[in-house]
Amino acid sequence: MRDFVQNFPLFSIILCLVSSSASSLLKGKAAKWVNTVLICVVGAMSLTLTFYCLAHGSFTYTMGHVPAPWGNEVRGGVLEGAMGTFFCLIMLLSMTGGRKKLLEEVEDTKQNLYYILVNLMLCSLIALVYTNDLFTAYVFVEINTISACGLIMIRQNGRTIEAAVRYMIMSLLGSGLFLVGICLLYDITGHLLMSNIKESVQALVESGQYGEPLLIAIAFMMMGLAIKSALFPFHAWLPDAYGYSTISSAAILSSLVSKGYIFLLIKIIYRVIGFEVVRESLLLNVTFVFAGLGIIFGSISAMREDDIRRMVSFSSVAQIGYIYLGISLGTQVGMVAAVFQILSHAATKSMLFISAIGLTDASNTSRKFKDLTGSAYRNKIAGMGFAAGALSMVGIPLFSGFISKLLFMQAAVANYGKMLPTMIVLAISTILNAIYFMKTVVRIYSPERDLYKGREGFKVIHTREQIEYTCTVILFIALNVALGLCSEPILELIGKGLEMFA
Amino acid sequence: MNTNLLNNYAEAVSMIIFAIGFTNLLLHKNLIKKIIGLNIMDTAVYLFLALKGYIKGHVAPIIIDGVVEPEAYINPIPSGLVLTGIVVSVSVTALMLSLTIRLYKRYHTLDLDEISLRLKKEGL
Amino acid sequence: MDTMFTLYQFNDRLALSYKIDRISIIFLTAAVILFACAGVYSCYYMKGKEHMKRYWIFFVGVLCIISLMACSANFFTFYVNYELMTLVSSPLVMHEQTKEARLAGFKYLIYSFFGAYFVLFGFYVLNKYCVDLTFTEGGRLDMTLVSGHEGIVLLAVFFMVIGFGVKAGMWPLHSWLTTAHPIAVSPASAVLSGVIVKAGVIGVIRAIFYLVGADFVKGTWVQYTWLILILLTILMGSTLAYFEKELKKRLAYSTISQVAYILFGLAMFNTTAYEGALMQFLAHAFAKCALFMIAGVFIILTGSKNVESLRGIGKKYPVLLWMFTICSLSMVGIPPTGGFLAKWYLIVGSLDTGRPNFDWAGPVFLLISALLTAGYLFTIVMRGFFPGEDYVDDGREKVKLPLTVYIPIGVLMLLCVLVGIIPNLFMGGGM
Amino acid sequence: MKKRNLFSSLLDWVWESRSDLYENMTIRDDDEEVNVITKAEHKEDIEKVKEKVFDAADRGSFRKWRFLYKILAVVFAVFFSAVLLITVGQLPKIGEINNPANNEVEKRYIEKGLEETGATNIVAGMILDYRAFDTLGESHVLFVAAIAVTILLRLDKSERDPEDTKITETITEAEEEDKIFEPHHDAILQKVAMLLVPIIILFGIYVILNGHLSPGGGFSGGAIIGAGLILYLNAFGFENTERFFNEKVYKTVIFSGLAFYALAKCYAFFCGANGLDSHISKGIPGHILSAGLILPLDIAVGCVVACTMYAFYAMFRKGGL
C-alpha cells in the first residue's frame, strides 16, 4: 500500500476526463464552475505532489496490476509537480482574464463545449507532464492538438478557421513524424516505456549497432515536437491562431500548449535518449541554428506589425526560439535557463495577451496602434499590465524576464563553442525587443488624439466595471515580480527536478 | 554498407508510401488532397507497425485451445498500437473534413492559397 | 566606513547591498546639490505647465534611485539601479509629450538598453572570473581563474566601457544625448547632463577601478582603443558645438566633449589624472547644470531657441549673463574656477604617463578643444554684452525675474568657483 | 463537362490543372459577408485578388514559381523517402524471432495474458488491461474530435435572442438543402434497408460482445452499428430517426459511456497500483461473461463509437442531429 499522495497524478487525469465528459450535459454557467473548480483541485494536487517529492524523491506509479514494462506507468517528480502547478495557475488566470470576451465571442449554446475543450487540454497537459510511456505521450499529444484546434476556431470567422486548418496540418505532420520516431525506436529497442528505452539505448550506443536508425528516430521525434511547438521555420500558423482567436485561447495556446510540447521534448531528451547521446549527435547544432534564426526573424516581424495582438504573437516566436536556444546549448545550465524561460514566458505572454485585450476594448475593439494611442489612460489596469509585461520582456531588473536573460548569459558564457553567436543573437533580439515593446508602451501612454475624444467605443473603463479582470492582471503582475525576485528557490527546484530526471 | 533492404522490402514500401503521404499533406494546395495525404501517411505507419509485429510462421494472437507458447503467436503489441492509431486518424480526419466544409461554404474553394488571398482581400 | 547594508539576497553571489565610499560621497554631493537647485529652479520654469504631479513624482524618483546607485556596494546592485534610473528618467525627457519629445525619449531608452546589454555581458563574464562582485579598490579579479582567459575578460571590459560610454555620450553611441537634451524641459536637461550622464562615468570607474583593477587593463589594446575613442569624442563634441546654432543643442555637444575629458582622465590610469577626472566631474556638473538653467531662462525670455536671438541680452539681464560668463570660464578652464584646476591635473597626469603618442596627444587635444569651447561660449557672452551698432532692440520689455531663478544658479556658480579654490572640501582630501 | 480518358484525368489530378472536386461542386452561399457569386465571377474575382496581392508585373514569374513548386515537391518526396530507405536498410530483418521487439514483454503477454486478463484475444487483453491507459486516452481523442466537429458544424438557435434572423435563416436553408438528400418514398432503398439494418446492427453487437474472444471489439463493432444507423437515416429520413435518437440521447450515451470507462479504469488502476484486490472475477476463459472489465468496457466504447459515427454523419449533412 503506497502513500496516498502518489495516486494524485492518476486522480487528476481521471478527474479531468470525467468532468469534461460531464460538461457536455451541463449549461455554460455550470460548466464554467466545474472548470474553475477542476483547475483549482488539480493545481492543489500537483502542489502537494511537489512538496511530497521534495521530501521523498521521485516515484513511478504503475497504471494497473502489472508492473512496468508490461503495464503503463506514470512518474511523479519535483519538476513534474511544479510544472503541473504552474500550468494550472496560468490556465486559471487566463480563463478568468478572458471571461468577458468569451461571453461575447462564443455562441451561448457552445459555451460548455469551450469548457470541455479546456478541461481536455488541461488533462492532456497534465498527462504529458506525468507520463512515463512514449505511446501514452503520443495519444495525449493528439488530444492536445485537437483541443488546441478547437480553442482556435471556437470564435468563428474566416481567419480563425484558416488558422486552425494550417495549425492542424502542421501538427499532423508533427504527429506523423513523432509516431514514426516512436515506431523506429520501438523496433530497435523493443520497449515503449521511457526508462527501459533509455537502458537499451545506452546498450545500443555502447555496442554501436543501429546507428542510423537511432539518429533518425531522435531526429524525427525532435522535429515533430519542434513543428508542434512552432519553432522558426514551422511557425506559419502561429500569428493568425494567436492573433484572432478569443483571448483566453490565445493566452492558453501561447503560454501552455507549446510549452507542454517543449517540456515533453526535454523529458524525452533526458529520460528516453539520454542527454549525452543527444549532445554527441549533432542535432543540437541544427536546433541551435533554427532557434537563432527564429529569435531574429520573430523580433523583426514583430517590429513590422501594426496590430498589437499579432505583434505579441510574433514575439512569442522569438521567445520559443530562446527556449530552444537554451536547450541546444547542450549544458545543464542552458537546460535550467530553458526551463525557467518556459515559466517566465508563460507568465509574461499570457499577461500581455490579457492586458492587450483590455486596451483594445477601451479603443472600440480596434487593434491598430493608431487607435490605441492613450488607451492606457482609458483602461488603467490593462495599461499597467501591458507595461509590466513589456518591461519583463525587455529584461528590466525585478521582473522575471531579467532573470531568464541573466541565465541565458550564464549558459552562453559557460559554453565556449557557442558563446559568440549566442551573444550576438541575444544582443540583436534584446535591442529589437526594446524597440517594439517600448514603442508600444510609449504609444499607449501618450495623450490621446482629439479626434478620438468622445467617439463611441473610446470610453474610459473603470475598475469597478471589471473586478475579475483587475484581480487577474494584478495577480499576473505579482506572479511576474515573484518570479523575478524569488528566482533562487525556483532555480534550485528546477535543478533538483532535472537531476531526478537523469 | 551491409543493408538488408531486400529482406525489409515491405517496410521499404511502407516508408515510401509514408513519404508520399507526408509530401501530399505538406505541399499540396487542395485541402481534400491534403486530407487524402494524411490518410495515406497514417496507413503507411500502420503497415509499418503490422510488419514490426509479424514473426515468421506464427499466427494471430488469439488463443486457440489453450496453447500459450510464445512460439505460437506473433507479437501483439504493434497490433494494439495500430488499433489506437486508427481511432486517432479517424477523429483527425473527421475534424479536418469539417474544417474544410466550413472553409468551402465561406470561400467556395478548396485551394488554401486562394483562401489566404481572400483573407488578405477581406483584410479581416 | 566599510559597513555594508544588505537589502535583499538573490543568491550567494547576487545581492542588493549598499555602502558608502569616496566615489559615492562625491557622486552623492553632486547629485543632491544639483537636484536641489534644479528643484528650486523648476518652481520658476515649470510654472503653469500641466502634469506637474507626474513631473515631481519622477523627479524625486530619479533622485532616490540615483542616490541608491551612488551607494551601491556591488556591481549587481549598481546594474539594477542603473537600469531603473534609465527607466524612471525617461518620463522627464518625454514630459512635453509632443511627437518630438516622445521620439527623443524613445531614442534615449533604446540607446540606454543597448548599452545596458553590453554591460550585462561584461557583468556576466566578470561574475565568472571575479572572487565576488563587491567593489574594492584594486579590483576583485581571481587571477587563478583568469589565467588563460585574458582575452575574454578584456573583451568584457571593453564591452562594459562601450556600454557605459553610451550613457556618458562617448563616440560613436552619443547621438541620443543631442536629441534628448534640447527636447527635455530645462530642469530635466540640467540634471540629465549634470548627473545622469555622469552615471555612465561612475559606472566606468566602478567597473574598471573597483571591479577589474586598473593594473589589469593598463597597457592593453582596451586602453588604446578607449583612448582613441575618447580623443575623437572630445574633438567631435567641441567642433560640432562650435558650429551648432541652437543654444541647448550647443550645450549638449559641449557636454559630450567635457564628459569625454573625465573619461580621458580615467583612461590614463594614473593618480593625478584620476584626481583631475574627479574634479572635472564636479566642476562640469555644477557649471553645465547652471548653463542649462540659464539657457532655459533665455529661451523663455527671448522666446527662441536660437543663439542669434541672444544679442544684447546682457543689456537687459546683466546678472544672468555674468553668471553665464563665470560658468563658461569654468568650462573653458580659466583660473580661479574648478575647470582650470581639473584640466591642469588632467594634462599633468597625461604628460607623465609613459604611454607613447598619448602623452602628447592628450594635451594637444585638450587645448584645441579648450579653444573651441572658448569659441562657442564666449561668442555668446560678447554678443550679449556688445551687440554692435546694427543691433535694434526687440520690443520685449524687461521682466523682473524671481529669486527662484537667481538663487539656484548663483549657488551653482559659487560652487564652480569653490571647487577651484578649496578642492579638498569636495575631493575628500584624496590628494 | 467533356469526357476525358482515364490517363488524362489522372494527369490532371496529379498536376492539378483542373480539379474534378472543384469543378463539379455546386456553389452555395450561406452568409452575408461573401455575396452570392457564380463560378465565373468567382474566378475573375480571384484573378483580381491575385493582381492585388502579387502585382500584375510578375504574374508570369508567379506561374513559373507554381511550376517550380511542383518540381520541388517531387524532389522533396524523393529525398525524404531516400532518407527513410537508408534507415529501413539498417533495421532488423522482418519476422526474425530474435528481433529486439520480440522480448520479455510480448512473451509475458502471451504466456500470462490469459490468466491475468482472462481474454483469449490477447490484443484485446493488452489494449484494455495491460495498456488500458492509452486506450482510455484514445476514446477521449474520439470524444474531443466529436466536440470540435460539433462546434464547427452545429447550427442552433441562440438562447440570448431566439428570433435572431440570420441563424434561423441559415438553419431553415440548411434543412431545405437537406431535403435534396431526403428519400422520396424510395421503395427499393427502404425495403433493402429494412432488410439490412437489423442484420448490420446485430452483427455489430456480436462483434462488440465477442471482443475479448475473437477479433473485434468496441471500436470496430461500434463503427458497424454506426454504419447501420446511417443507412437507416438515409432510408427513412430524420423525422423517423429523431423519434428514438436525438441530441439528448446522444449526449447521455456519450457521457455515461465515457464516465463509466474512466471511473472503472480508475478503480482498476487504483487497486492495481496500491496492491489491493479489485474484486473483479476473471470468469472462465472463452465464455462470453468473462475477462473481467474487458466486456463492459467494450460495450461502453461500442456505444460511444456508434453514436459518434452517427453524429459525424448528421453534422456533416445538415448541421445537427
Contact status of C323 with chain A (Cβ, < 8 Å): no
Minimum distance, in Å, between the CA of residue A180 and any CA atom of chain B: 7
What ipTM did this prediction achieve?
0.84
Nearest to A146 by CA among D253, D258, B96, B24: B96
pLDDT at D199: 94
For chain C, the average pLDDT equals 83
Give a yes or no: residue C2 inside a domain: no
**pLDDT tens-place string over residues C130-153:** 877 888 887 787 777 777 778 888
Minimum distance, in Å, between the CA of residue A315 and any CA atom of chain B: 21
With beta carbons under 8 A apart, name residues in chain A contacting B19.
Answer: none
**pLDDT tens-place string over residues C330-353:** 888 887 788 888 888 888 888 877
Structural domain including B22 reads 9-122
pLDDT at B123: 62
Give a yes or no: residue B26 inside a domain: yes
Checking if the pLDDT of D228 tops 90, the result is: yes
**Packing angle, helices A134-153 and A258-267, rounded to 10:** 170
Which residue among B19, B32, B88 sits closest to D77, beta carbon to beta carbon? B19
CB A96 within 8 Å of CB A471: yes
B16: Cβ contacts below 8 Å, ≥ 6 apart:
D81, D84, D85
Residue D12 shares a structural domain with residue D115: no
With beta carbons under 8 A apart, name residues in chain A contacting D255.
Answer: 21-22, 24-25
Contact status of D34 with chain B (Cβ, < 8 Å): yes
Structural domain including C186 reads 21-388+400-427
Please answer yes or no on whether C8 and A397 come within 8 Å at the CB atom: no
Give a yes or no: residue D183 inside a domain: yes
Mean pLDDT of all residues in C63-91: 88
- CATH assignment at residue B15: 1.10.287.3510
Q: Which residue has the higher pLDDT, C254 or A456?
A: C254
Residue of D nearest to B103 (CA): D152
Mean pLDDT of all residues in B64-89: 83
Checking if the pLDDT of A167 tops 70, the result is: yes
Q: Where are the beta strands (DSSP E) in D156-287?
A: none
**pLDDT tens-place string over residues C229-283:** 888 888 888 888 888 888 888 888 888 888 888 888 888 888 888 888 888 888 8
**pLDDT tens-place string over residues C364-411:** 888 888 888 888 888 888 888 887 777 777 667 777 778 888 888 888
Put simply, the chain A residues between 49 and 68 with a CB less than 8 A from any chain D CB are 61-66
Please answer yes or no on whether C110 and A434 come within 8 Å at the CB atom: yes
CB D230 within 8 Å of CB D310: yes
Nearest to C94 by CA among C84, C108, C112: C108
Distance of CA A255 to the CA centre of its chain: 4
Mean pLDDT of all residues in A359-367: 82
Place D183 in a pLDDT band, splitting at 50, 70 and 90.
Answer: low
What is the per-residue DSSP string for A111-148?
HHHHHHHHHHHHHHHHHHHHB-BHHHHHHHHHHHHHHH
pLDDT at B17: 92
Please answer yes or no on whether C84 and A396 come within 8 Å at the CB atom: yes
Give a yes or no: residue C3 inside a domain: no
pLDDT at D36: 47
With beta carbons under 8 A apart, name residues in chain B contacting A124.
Answer: none
Give a yes or no: residue B67 inside a domain: yes
Question: What one-letter code names the amino acid at D68?
Answer: L
Minimum distance, in Å, between the CA of residue A395 and any CA atom of chain C: 9
Residue D239 shares a structural domain with residue D312: yes
| Low-confidence winner among A122-131, A469-478, D26-35 (lowest mean pLDDT) | D26-35
What single DSSP character describes residue A76? E
What distance in Å separates the CA atoms of residue C351 and residue A273, rounded to the nearest whole number?
65
Contact status of C162 with chain A (Cβ, < 8 Å): no
What distance in Å separates the CA atoms of residue C163 and residue C158, rounded to the nearest whole number?
8
CB C227 within 8 Å of CB C358: yes
Put simply, the chain A residues between 310 and 339 with a CB less than 8 A from any chain D CB are none
Please answer yes or no on whether A406 and C124 come within 8 Å at the CB atom: yes
Please answer yes or no on whether A142 and B88 come within 8 Å at the CB atom: yes
**Beta-carbon-side half-sphere exposure of residue A405 (alpha carbons within 13 Å):** 27
As a dihedral over the C-alpha atoms of residue B74, residue B78, residue B82, residue B84, rounded to 10 degrees, the angle is 120
Q: Which residue among D88, D116, D147 closes a domain?
A: D88
Put simply, the chain D residues between 123 and 182 with a CB less than 8 A from any chain B CB are 123, 126-127, 131, 134-135, 138-139, 141-142, 144-146, 148-149, 152-153
* Chains A and C physically touch (3 or more Cβ atom pairs below 8 Å): yes
Place A308 in a pLDDT band, splitting at 50, 70 and 90.
Answer: confident
Q: What would the grid cell of residue C173 be?
A: 553611441
CB B99 within 8 Å of CB A164: yes
Give a yes or no: residue B3 inside a domain: no
Residues in chain B: 124
pLDDT at A121: 92
With beta carbons under 8 A apart, name residues in chain D contacting B104.
Answer: 25
| Low-confidence winner among A17-26, B115-124, D214-223 (lowest mean pLDDT) | B115-124
Domain residues of chain A, as ranges? 290-502
Place D162 in a pLDDT band, splitting at 50, 70 and 90.
Answer: low
Minimum distance, in Å, between the CA of residue B64 and any CA atom of chain A: 23
What distance in Å separates the CA atoms of residue C403 and residue C414, rounded to the nearest whole number?
16
Q: Which residue's C-alpha cell is 578643444? A: C369
* Chains with ≥3 CB–CB distances under 8 Å to C: A
Residue of D nearest to A107 (CA): D158
Domain count, chain B: 1
Please answer yes or no on whether B95 and D37 come within 8 Å at the CB atom: no
Nearest to D218 by CA among D151, D312, D105, D123: D123
- Percent of chain D clearing pLDDT 70 (strictly above): 74
| Low-confidence winner among A76-90, C73-87, C147-161, D224-238 (lowest mean pLDDT) | C147-161
Checking if the pLDDT of C112 tops 80, the result is: yes
- Percent of chain A clearing pLDDT 90 (strictly above): 22
Give a yes or no: residue D102 inside a domain: no
Q: What would the grid cell of residue C355 be?
A: 604611454
**pLDDT tens-place string over residues D65-123:** 778 888 888 899 899 888 888 888 888 877 777 777 777 777 777 777 777 777 778 88
Domain count, chain C: 1
Residue D201 shares a structural domain with residue D76: no
pLDDT at D20: 42
Helices (H), A256-379: 258-267, 275-280, 283-303, 308-328, 332-361, 369-372, 375-378
What distance in Å separates the CA atoms of residue B73 and residue A42, rounded to the nearest whole number?
43
Residue B55 bridge partners (DSSP):
D95
Give a yes or no: residue C395 inside a domain: no
pLDDT at D29: 37
Distance of CA D128 to the CA centre of its chain: 21
What distance in Å separates the CA atoms of residue C63 and residue C27, rounded to the nearest whole number?
12
* Chains with ≥3 CB–CB distances under 8 Å to D: A, B
With beta carbons under 8 A apart, name residues in chain A contacting C89.
Answer: none
Structural domain including D261 reads 108-318
Checking if the pLDDT of C429 tops 60, the result is: no
CB A389 within 8 Å of CB A348: yes
Q: Which residue among D55, D88, D121 closes a domain?
A: D88
Cα maximum dimension of chain B: 69
pLDDT at A120: 92
Is B52 exposed, middle or buried (CB count within 10 Å of its CB: 0-12, 13-18, 19+)?
buried
Place C165 in a pLDDT band, splitting at 50, 70 and 90.
Answer: confident
What single DSSP character describes residue A362? T
Domain count, chain D: 2
Q: In 10 A of CB D156, how many CB atoms?
A: 15
Cα maximum dimension of chain C: 74
Give a yes or no: residue D98 inside a domain: no
What single DSSP character describes residue C149? -
**pLDDT tens-place string over residues A383-433:** 889 999 998 988 888 888 888 888 888 888 877 778 888 888 888 888 888
pLDDT at D33: 43
Question: What one-letter code names the amino acid at C342?
Answer: A
Give a yes or no: residue B118 inside a domain: yes
What distance in Å separates the CA atoms of residue A125 and residue C26, rounded to the nearest whole number?
57
Contact status of D88 with chain B (Cβ, < 8 Å): yes
Mean pLDDT of all residues in D217-246: 86
Give a yes or no: residue D97 inside a domain: no
Interface test with chain B among A140, A157, A165, A365, by most B beta carbons within 10 Å: A165
As a dihedral over the C-alpha atoms of residue C368, residue C370, residue C373, residue C379, rounded to 10 degrees, the angle is -90
Is D26 exposed, middle or buried (CB count within 10 Å of its CB: 0-12, 13-18, 19+)?
exposed
| H or E stretch covering A28 | helix A28-56
pLDDT at C355: 66
Checking if the pLDDT of A286 tops 50, the result is: yes
Please answer yes or no on whether B80 and D49 come within 8 Å at the CB atom: no
Please answer yes or no on whether A156 and B102 come within 8 Å at the CB atom: yes
Place C167 in a pLDDT band, splitting at 50, 70 and 90.
Answer: confident
Residue D59 shares a structural domain with residue D153: no
Checking if the pLDDT of A326 tops 80, the result is: yes
CB A100 within 8 Å of CB A16: no
Checking if the pLDDT of D155 tops 50, the result is: yes
Q: Which residue has the higher pLDDT, C253 or B62?
A: C253
Please answer yes or no on whether A406 and C94 come within 8 Å at the CB atom: no
Residue D116 shares a structural domain with residue D253: yes
Place D9 in a pLDDT band, splitting at 50, 70 and 90.
Answer: low
Give a yes or no: residue D188 inside a domain: yes
Give a yes or no: residue D94 inside a domain: no
Contact status of C155 with chain A (Cβ, < 8 Å): no
Please answer yes or no on whether D105 and A190 come within 8 Å at the CB atom: yes
CB D195 within 8 Å of CB D282: no
Mean pLDDT of all residues in C44-62: 83
Nearest to C82 by CA among C114, C116, C106: C116
Q: What would the grid cell of residue D4 be?
A: 476525358
Minimum distance, in Å, between the CA of residue A360 and any CA atom of chain B: 16
Q: Which residue has the higher pLDDT, C106 or B122?
A: C106
| CA dihedral for A151, A153, A159, A161, sign (positive or negative) | positive
With beta carbons under 8 A apart, name residues in chain C contacting A485.
Answer: 8, 10
With beta carbons under 8 A apart, name residues in chain B contacting A186.
Answer: 52, 77-78
Nearest to C97 by CA among D19, A445, D118: A445
